[in-house]
A and B are shown apart, each in its own frame.
Chain A
Amino acid sequence: MHVLPFTYQPQGQDWLRILPELILLAAALLVLLVDLALPQRRKSALALVGVAGVVAAFVCAAIMIGAGDHQTAFAGMIFSDQTALLADLIILFSAGLGLLLSPGYIERQGITQQGEYYALLLLAALGMMVMASAANLMIVFVGLEVLSLALYVLSAFIVARNRSQEAGMKYFILSSFASGFLLYGMALTYGATGQTSLQGIQRFLGGHALATTSGFGPLLIAGLGLMAVGFCFKVSAVPFQAWTPDVYAGAPTAVTAFMSVGTKVAAFVALARVFMVALHPVQTQWTPILWAIAVLTMVGGNVLAATQRNVKRMLAYSSIANAGYILVAVVTGTQTAFAALLVYLASYAVMNIGAFGVVLALERNDGLGTTLDDFAGLGRRRRGLAAAMAVFLFSLAGIPPLVGFAGKYYVFYAAIVGGHLELAIIGVLTSVIGMFYYLRVVWAMYFVEPQPATAPASVVVAPAPEPVLAATTAGTSGGGSGGVALAEPAIATTSTATNTPAAAEPLTAQPAHVTPGAWLALALSLVLTIALGIIPGGLFDLANRAASVLFH
């Protein structure tokens, strides 16, 4: 007689272990309900509801880290270990900052469906947390789909901007394709091991006699190869990076700030759990694949970023380059490398959201105003913003004593100790290219004179969309949005054709709007960029403890 399988009953403690996720879900549903009761001009209050939910979930996750209960919940489906909780903290931090940056900005961009916007942002964060905590390939996939679906829609949220529509569509089509690869890889891995649980896969491969002799069958190799493709697409590693600049530049900047960080945290923690921990027994099989991708990503991301004149696109390419540094930690595959990966993700979150926050403050209603020429002379016009941007860029370039240096230092240290000196050398060399394009923006802000607008055509066209946009915001129907959509390509062509800082004049005419929430977000990331850079001990400690639990 067989033992009865599948008898697991969820207990109260299972729900307690996913409390941060539950709080976030409740906040998202609450936002949708409150949205029905608020009049259109009061909708910014929804951001407050969202921020309250995020703060509650953040506090909850922080308390749970202190409590130190590293169990799985729901029959080994989801971890609530320190890695999961630390990832939760980073994701919640970026979601909170994304929410703070949104009010004001999304109204300027003519977004009227604010309830859905905030709810989708919270649900995307929920999907990221689930993916980062997943203890089973199935949960990895479902979490990934929750966050991806929400981000497709968020990317396409600006009705009046064709590039936002294009971003959403492009992201949707390419990302679904990558999801197919990931799912097929998971299916083959299941076929090879008979397990979807990460701990089960590790136990099965570790206890298998073939592990030491001839390696595993081609089925497992095909499975992990396809999974690597899927994950590398999601973290935008070269050669799967083509979508990243278009999507990051086209999406609303508040969404870009949030997703550039959140998606990376979720996908990299899941990637590390699958490859560094579950597939650890077959490390020799996947190291060459990820080694090549890491090198390509570091070189490709940095070289392409150096050719950009639009700061938003430059930051998109820089996020590709950063994915390369994090992949170095994955390839190294040791316990120290896992801790370094967590530290790097935290440091990247803090400084990158700040940099996008400054870009958001300078962006105009038509989505322009973010080229290098627009940054020229910013040090005199907007002292606060320019100083903050300089700090974020110095940190991204990896200059001590800022947090970016701490992250890079730890990753390269782990690579050298773990026997991948060559990756550390490539990493340091490509970081030098990084310094060039980050510091070029600082140079533009402080040492380049803003040129006056010369092209008369752009002066005629540029002011046109703003009243129309304002009308759309006020709630007019059809004609308004159509007009903007038609007007936009014209603007784009004039400004690219003139190729001169036509933006300089409209920029002074329309000063950067920074709402109190956005100031708070910038201040938070500024303080953390400096504080975590000077005293990184606490972060290192937390990451080391998290890694030691996984590699005990």
Chain B
Amino acid sequence: MTGAQIAFFVLAVVAVASALGVILFRNAVYSMLSLILNLLSLAFFFLTLDAMFVATIQVLIYAGAVMILFLFVVTMLSQDTSNTNGPDRLRWQAVAGVGFGVILAGGLIIALLNGSLAHDAHAAGLDTLSNAIAALGGNTQAFGWALFHNFSFPFEITSVLIVVAILGAVVLGRRLTSRN
């Protein structure tokens, strides 16, 4: 077993356990903390995939900035847990949900284990990302080239998406303050 494999299995256990923690903890703060752990372990995954730039950004932006904001919001809002602890009147829904979830997870595991055509794609020289990293001499350079050349249009459209999100936040937020 190589070092990379050991790292993968350790990280996989941490990632799955922390993801379960996000949805299973009754306390919202604990959920947030395990989400941070989950995002951190994803950053390590990116590292093992030689995507150093994405790993750094993952830590800086998600685990750092965004999640801290989340944590602030959760701790500042009053923790009213009365609704989450009430009797669940739709128990059959939970049972059916778990059943379908298991089926979906099983299907995905079979799909992922049975390999893919991706190495064919890699062999056919379609894996432009590895080529780019080699040709441009680094992760960050390759990312920047991709973002501002072939992927400039998705990049621009994402800015429209953010405008929409800000507008929505303004609409819903201003209404909250005028109601109280």
Contacts and interface: CB of A to CB of B under 8 A. Distances in A.
Interface of A: 1-10, 14, 25, 32, 73-75, 77-78, 113, 116, 119-120, 123-124, 126-127, 130, 136, 138-139, 142-143, 145-146, 149-150, 152-153, 156-157, 159, 188, 191-195, 200, 204, 208, 210, 216-222, 225, 477-478, 481-482
B116 A7 contact: no
A219 to B, nearest CB: 4
- Describe B's contact surface by its main secondary structure: helix
A116 B171 contact: yes
Main secondary structure of the interface of A (DSSP, over half): helix
A326 B124 CA distance: 37
B112 A219 contact: yes
Interface stretch (B2-10, B23-31, B126-134): B126-134
Contacts of B160: 25, 123, 126-127, 146
Contact of B172 (A145, A156, A221, A482): A156
Nearest to A73: B153
Given A10-B152, A146-B161, A119 B167 contact: yes
Contact of A143 (B136, B157, B171): B157
Interface in B130-180: 131-132, 134-136, 142, 145-146, 149-154, 157-158, 160-161, 163-165, 167-168, 170-172, 174-175, 178-180
Contact of B149 (A8, A157, A222): A8
Q: How large is the interface on B (under 10, 10 to 19, 20 to 34, 35 or more residues)?
A: 35 or more
Contacts of A8: 149-150, 152
B107 A481 contact: no
B121 interface: yes
B153 A2 contact: no
B142 A6 contact: yes
Contacts of B164: 120, 123-124, 127, 146, 149-150
A2 B125 CA distance: 11
9 contacts: A25-B160, A75-B150, A77-B151, A149-B165, A194-B126, A200-B126, A204-B121, A478-B179, A482-B179
B168 A113 contact: no
A139 B180 CA distance: 39
Given A8-B149, A204-B117, 11 more contacts: A3-B131, A5-B131, A25-B160, A75-B150, A75-B153, A77-B153, A146-B160, A153-B168, A204-B121, A217-B115, A218-B111
Contacts of A156: 172
Contacts of B149: 6-9, 75
A14 B153 CA distance: 10
A9 B108 CA distance: 38
B178 A2 contact: no
B153 A74 contact: yes
Contacts of A123: 160, 163-164, 167
B128 A219 contact: no
Given A6-B128, A192-B118, A193-B121, A481 B178 contact: yes
Given A208-B120, A478-B178, A5 B161 contact: no
B117 A192 contact: yes
Contacts of A210: 117
Contacts of B118: 191-194
Given A4-B136, A7-B149, A481-B178, A220 B117 contact: yes
A123 B163 CA distance: 9
Contacts of B145: 5-7
Nearest to A1: B135
Contacts of A130: 157
A220 to B, nearest CB: 7
B165 A139 contact: no
A348 B71 CA distance: 46
A47 B66 CA distance: 36
B81 interface: no
B110 interface: yes
